[in-house]
Amino acid sequence: MKITQIKAYEILASGGYPTVEAEVTLENGVSERASVPYGASAGSHEATVLVDGDKRRYHGKGVTNVIKNIEEKIAPILIGKEVENQRELDQAMIALDGTDNKANLGGNAVLAVSVACARVAARAQNKPLYLYLRDTFNTGVDFSSLPNPMVVVIEGGKHADETTDLQEYCISGISPGGPTENIRKALESYHTLQKILKANGLSTNVGNEGAFAPNGIPSNEAPFTYILEAIEQAGYKPGVDLGISIDAAASEFYADGKYNLKLENRQLIATELIAYYTTWFEKYPIVTVEDMLSEDDWDNWVALKKITDAYKIELIGDDLTVTSVVRLQKAIDLNAISSILIKLNQIGSVTETIDACMLARQHGMMSVPSHRGGGETNDTAMVDLAVAVGGKFIKVGPTRGERVAKYNRLMEIEREVKGPTI
């Protein structure tokens, strides 16, 4: 089925700034749209989020140039091509851009078109997106086990003011019942957590991702005790039904060789920080830890990996690896991580994202597709992608429409794959 038209629109993301939506039409008249998110604590090795820079519109964050790139540069090279050739379409856009980080066209331009192509191709074949992606890229996944929720329940760092230095504390579903059951357990614990935070005199306003951002929290360790209590009070077994995952997003509090824990008034070098983290590994049912060190602090990642391995904790790269096969290969060669966070917009195309997931899979690593903290949309392609590549978790916030859309899509897929779930 050939592509006949590609249009693009400036829409709003959850952060209140614009993002881009692309619409791809086929020769049979069918069209589909896709929109892309942006990060708040984006890694410096990520694909470019191109914005206009015209201060008269949205403080420079308009995307009218991105729309022009789609309609005037990308559309002419893709129109007339077979939409099912996803790899070829993505490669054509990558070649047209000509940079390592999609600086010319914008990663946001390329990704919006890339996902819209996949979505309309899936529709042309009468398949749900996850099935289309699985078959197109021969991922070999049989859907017998679906991704579980990694629900962000407390957030700080760049995602909220006056709270923890670490960016995210999550409740991860680890019981064998499947995503719908794990989502329920995690959300029940999230609501119980609200009562516990209140009882401790903390505010329960929420941050960027819809998780609690408790102003006045005493330390970076305190969330563990509140979350543990919440899981237990909700009636679940920590470490059996639900585990704890954290994302330090440490690049955000790193400068000149020091990690600055502002909340605790301490500046630590990497070995001291790792020693502090290790006290948590001793005490709490932690299943995964992410970006515990800065994005180019490779040697210390390798040192930390030896410790997380000993505690059977998955060490996830996010800003470190930016969904790039090049940086992932380096992390594999150095033995710096055991799992990878996946964000389509970090690399900027469906093909490159799936290549990263497959490289991880070949090396026995789990993939964890994730939402973005800066501005999300209601697009749920990341969930279909997670299912198509056999992702172990999806990391998404607990509340707000653009977040629960992802969990609702995951539960919908579970119903489709397994039949009724409740």
Interface with ligand PGA by CB under 6 A: which residues?
A: 39-42, 167, 247, 249, 318, 341, 370, 372-374
Nearer to ligand PGA, 41 or 339 (CB): 41
Sorted by sequence, the CB contacts under 8 Å of residue 55 that are 6+ apart come out as none
Point out the catalytic residue in the list 158, 343, 392, 395. 343
Question: Considering only residues 32, 318, 355, 379, which one is a binding residue for Zn ion as defined by CB under 5 A?
Answer: 318
In whole angstroms, what is the distance from residue 253 CA to residue 12 CA?
A: 29
Q: Which stretch binds Zn ion (CB under 5 A): 189-197, 247-255, 328-336, 348-356?
A: 247-255
In whole angstroms, what is the distance from residue 397 CA to residue 187 CA?
A: 10
Sorted by sequence, the CB contacts under 8 Å of residue 57 that are 6+ apart come out as 64
Minimum separation from the CB atom of position 345 to ligand PGA (A): 9
Nearer to Zn ion, 155 or 379 (CB): 155
Minimum separation from the CB atom of position 208 to ligand PGA (A): 7
Tokens 């704890």 sit on residue: 244
- Let me know the angle formed at the C-alpha of 154 by 153 and 159, rounded to the nearest 5 degrees: 115
Q: Are 33 and 116 in contact (CB under 8 A)?
A: yes
42 binds, among ligand PGA, Zn ion, none (CB under 5 to 8 A by kind): ligand PGA
Phi, psi of 335 (to 5 degrees): 60, 50
Say how many C-beta atoms besides its own lie within 10 A of residue 12's C-beta.
14
Nearer to Zn ion, 128 or 398 (CB): 398
Point out the catalytic residue in the list 21, 32, 209, 290. 209
- DSSP secondary-structure letter at 43? -
Minimum separation from the CB atom of position 405 to ligand PGA (A): 16
Tokens 């993002």 sit on residue: 19
Tokens 């078109």 sit on residue: 113
Q: Which stretch binds Zn ion (CB under 5 A): 83-91, 174-182, 239-247, 372-380?
A: 239-247
Q: Which stretch binds Zn ion (CB under 5 A): 92-100, 196-204, 289-297, 302-310?
A: 289-297
Q: Are 348 and 102 in contact (CB under 8 A)?
A: yes
Instruction: Report residue 27 as tokens.
Output: 């020769």
- Please tell me whether residue 402 binds Zn ion under the rule CB under 5 A: no
Position with the least CB separation from Zn ion? 318
Nearer to ligand PGA, 24 or 405 (CB): 405
373 binds, among ligand PGA, Zn ion, none (CB under 5 to 8 A by kind): ligand PGA
In whole angstroms, what is the distance from residue 211 CA to residue 157 CA?
A: 12
Nearer to Zn ion, 119 or 159 (CB): 159
352 binds, among Zn ion, ligand PGA, none (CB under 5 to 8 A by kind): none
Q: Which stretch binds Zn ion (CB under 5 A): 60-68, 157-165, 204-212, 284-292?
A: 284-292
- What's the alpha-carbon Rg for the chain, to the nearest Å? 21
First to last CA, the chain: 38
Minimum separation from the CB atom of position 373 to Zn ion (A): 8
Q: Spell out the alpha helix ranges (H) of 145-264.
A: 179-199, 222-233
Minimum separation from the CB atom of position 193 to Zn ion (A): 21
Minimum separation from the CB atom of position 136 to ligand PGA (A): 27
Strand 266-268 versus strand 258-261 pairing type? antiparallel
In what helix (H) or strand (E) does residue 35 lie, and over which residues does it extend? strand 31-35
Active site residue 209: yes
In whole angstroms, what is the distance from residue 173 CA to residue 393 CA?
A: 8
Nearer to ligand PGA, 74 or 227 (CB): 227
- Please tell me whether residue 90 binds Zn ion under the rule CB under 5 A: no
Q: Are 37 and 13 in contact (CB under 8 A)?
A: yes
Position with the least CB separation from ligand PGA? 373
Nearer to Zn ion, 141 or 341 (CB): 341
Nearer to ligand PGA, 243 or 375 (CB): 375
Minimum separation from the CB atom of position 391 to ligand PGA (A): 14
Residue 27: HSE in the Cβ half-sphere, 13 Å Cα cutoff: 10
Minimum separation from the CB atom of position 212 to Zn ion (A): 18
40 binds, among Zn ion, ligand PGA, none (CB under 5 to 8 A by kind): ligand PGA
Please give the torsion angle defined by the CA atoms of residues 415, 416, 417 and 419, in that order, rounded to the nearest 10 degrees: 50
Site for Zn ion, rule CB under 5 A: 247, 291, 318
Active site residues per annotation: 209, 343
